[in-house]
Amino acid sequence: MRRWVRKVVVLVSACGWLVPSAVVRAASGQGPLPLELLFDNVAVSEDAQPGEADFDGYGASLSARDLTAAGWTPGRELTVQGARLAWPLPRPGEPDNVRAAGQEVRVGGGPGDALAFLVAGTAGRDVGGQGTITYTDGTRSTYRLVAPDWRTGPLSTKAVALPHVNTPAGQLTERARLYVRTVPLPPGRAVASLQLPRAAGLHVFALAVRDMSRGWTGSWAASTSGHPAVGPWSDRTLRLVVHTSVGGPRVRLRFDNTFASGPVRIGGATVAVRATGAGARDEPVRLAFGGRPGAVVPAGAQAYSDPLGFAVPAGADLLVSFHLPGKVRAAPVHGRAMQRSYLSAPGDHTADRSPAAYTACLTGWPLLTGVDVAGGPGSVVVLGNSITDGVGSTPDANRRWPDVLAARLRARYGAPPHGVLNHGISGNRVASDRYPGDGVSTDTAGVSAVHRFDRDVLAQTSVRAAVVFEGVNDLRWGASAEQVIAGLRELAARGRERGLRMLGATLLPCEGESRCTAAVDAGRVAVNAWIRSSGAFDGVLDFDAVLRDPERPARMLPAYDSGDHLHPGDAGHAALAGSVDLRALTGRP
């Protein structure tokens, strides 16, 4: 295949421009071709030979050494946002991407929820345009694809960032970015081909239909909120405690190396139902990854375990144990779990039923981001801040309001109810990043809800609806009500565009907390008025009305207050969950 690619990329003249002969053949009626046969640009160079590539038209390129260090090697399959994308096979100095100019691309594969594109722009700004998708039944639809710039785009939404840019004048210590962007597909329709947009400066490295969710329901999830220094851990086993929302006869796990600069190796992993502490009820059951006992997860990518016949109970604690054989100095983590997990003494203790080897505690969830079960009607995602994260509720007790909501769904609908996926991050904001999205940092308050929406909502397993319950942190740190409203409006529109049922939750009063000034409360009132009246959401959860003190509406009712005047306690979390109209949430009577 590589030899044939070299032969077809022969430059011929077309109205003064040089284009590959493969593109000319496709445009002249020979039909769509696989993307790799349309490659017409060289993005990757060896550090010692930067002149062999010209990604941006000015001689700059990606470093092959940096890509290898990140685990992005030629031909490597990378799972990002649930989509399996292959990094191009050609060697440095060979064409490895397509400049989008209306080419017809053969796609293939079955139905899925989205088309995923591995892209970058070279125009110094966001660049994109409209293309056309052709389905196997002969119907068509349009889509819009936009890529941020490879040198100036946001780090908070990139798939991977590389530490250097190669140029003819020498290597620059500057972050080069690559992005994954998705566009929705109609249910049940398989893609035959697509026409790329005509957009100068838009480069496409890979594309694929995302179908990872078919037949699965998300039972538990957590957002990656930062990338702090850890340990360092070397030859250690992590045993994480997670609480399921729904059960099923088979299970698979998802590990995310989000925000990382290099790959991480998982030597082995098991799953078990928890007894107490770090002890398992039965012998832990070993997982596999592509038939192998472990996995190497490239920077910015994911690893899904193979489906495992394992009866997952609903509303129960699981122990997910995984061995890290190499030295791990920093890791993607969900910073505030409100649940103790465990770290072992040296060695692979994934198969231990006994808790004896687990001698230290963890307060976050590193690397693990999802537990899926087979079957079920799909999942509901709750996108929020520390209140959704469970702050103010009793630790180790699963009394976060999404946990109580999941129990209500199980009690009302029996089997199978919707799964509830908690994507709250303590300290998170709607419109501005706390963690910048790249590098090692002590801040684990995450990138903004706007920037994490694709990963934490749209790419979640079989998501059917989402609740957005954020904004008070923006206001408390100086954002205007208009800025919060603009962010919420964008989230609602993006979710509805993908066919999700979007519900907006009003912001809770917080008088008495040090940053909740009268000006903050005025902004909160304005945001809540917009949520209730704008029609931007498919439904409204009026959490403000549930917890506020009728005598002093700017503060929380004392019976619901955890004591800090910002976060509800157990009673407040229960009241929030109890107020949700389940029919509005799930569309089920």
Q: Is residue 301 situated within a structural domain?
A: yes
At 213 the pLDDT is 87
Residues 488 and 580 in one domain: yes
CA-wise closest residue to 212 among 107, 83, 118, 40 = 83
At 131 the pLDDT is 98
When pLDDT is averaged across residues 570-576 and rounded to a whole number, the result is: 98
Q: Is the pLDDT of residue 358 over 90?
A: yes
When pLDDT is averaged across residues 368-393 and rounded to a whole number, the result is: 98
At 21 the pLDDT is 40
- Of residues 23 and 376, more confidence is placed in 376
User: Considering the chain, what percentage of its residues have pLDDT values greater than 70?
Assistant: 95
**Phi/psi class of residue 458: alpha, beta or left (left: φ > 0; alpha: ψ in -120 to 50)?**
alpha
Residues 323 and 390 in one domain: no
CA-wise closest residue to 204 among 105, 108, 82, 303 = 105
Q: Is the pLDDT of residue 7 over 50?
A: no
Residues 188 and 250 in one domain: no
At 545 the pLDDT is 98
At 28 the pLDDT is 42
Residues 260 and 384 in one domain: no
Domain harbouring 491, CATH code: 3.40.50.1110
Angle CA 404–408–410, to nearest 5 = 115
Residues 163 and 262 in one domain: no
Residues 424 and 302 in one domain: no
At 294 the pLDDT is 98
Q: Is residue 562 situated within a structural domain?
A: yes
Q: Which of 162, 181, 210 is the last residue before a domain boundary?
A: 210
Q: How far apart are CA 175 and CA 177, in angstroms?
A: 6
- Of residues 26 and 32, more confidence is placed in 32
Residues 407 and 555 in one domain: yes
Q: How far apart are CA 133 and CA 129, in angstroms?
A: 13
User: Considering the chain, what percentage of its residues have pLDDT values greater than 90?
Assistant: 92
Q: Which residues of 154-181 are buried (b: 16+ CB within 10 A; e: fewer)?
A: bbbbbbbbbbbbbbeeebeeebbbbbbb
At 11 the pLDDT is 32
Domain span at residue 406 reads: 377-589
Torsion of CA 511, 517, 522, 527, to 10 degrees: -80
Angle CA 90–96–98, to nearest 5 = 150
Q: Which of 318, 335, 368 is the last residue before a domain boundary?
A: 368
Helix (H, G, I), strand (E, B) or coil at 497: helix
Q: Is the pLDDT of residue 469 over 90?
A: yes
Q: Is residue 15 situated within a structural domain?
A: no
Q: Is residue 102 situated within a structural domain?
A: yes
Q: Is residue 8 situated within a structural domain?
A: no
At 86 the pLDDT is 97
Q: Which of 19-23, 253-257, 260-264 has the lowest mean pLDDT?
A: 19-23
Q: How far apart are CA 325 and CA 267, in angstroms?
A: 6
Per-residue pLDDT reduced to its tens digit, 198-255: 999 999 999 999 998 889 999 999 999 999 999 999 999 999 999 999 999 999 999 9
Q: Which of 210, 241, 256 is the last residue before a domain boundary?
A: 210
Q: How far apart are CA 522 and CA 527, in angstroms?
A: 9
When pLDDT is averaged across residues 437-461 and rounded to a whole number, the result is: 98
At 416 the pLDDT is 83
Residue 35 backbone dihedrals phi, psi, to 5 degrees: -55, -40
- Residue 332 tokens, joined: 């993607």
* The total number of structural domains that make up the chain: 3
Residues 105 and 49 in one domain: yes
Bridge partners for 115 per DSSP: 183, 209
When pLDDT is averaged across residues 104-112 and rounded to a whole number, the result is: 92
- Mean per-residue pLDDT of the chain: 94
Residues 381 and 342 in one domain: no
Omega before residue 416 within 30° of 0, cis? yes
Using 50, 70 and 90 to split pLDDT, how confident is the model at 29? low
Q: Is residue 474 situated within a structural domain?
A: yes
Residues 189 and 311 in one domain: no
At 503 the pLDDT is 98
Per-residue pLDDT reduced to its tens digit, 271-292: 999 999 999 999 999 999 999 9
Residues 418 and 550 in one domain: yes
Using 50, 70 and 90 to split pLDDT, how confident is the model at 18? very low
Q: How far apart are CA 193 and CA 34, in angstroms?
A: 9
CB-based contacts of 412-417 (< 8 A; 24+ apart in sequence): 412/582, 413/582, 413/586, 413/588, 415/247, 415/314, 416/217, 416/246, 416/248, 416/375, 416/376, 416/377, 417/246, 417/376, 417/377
Q: Is residue 220 situated within a structural domain?
A: no
Bridge partners for 198 per DSSP: 101
Q: Is residue 434 situated within a structural domain?
A: yes
Residues 351 and 382 in one domain: no
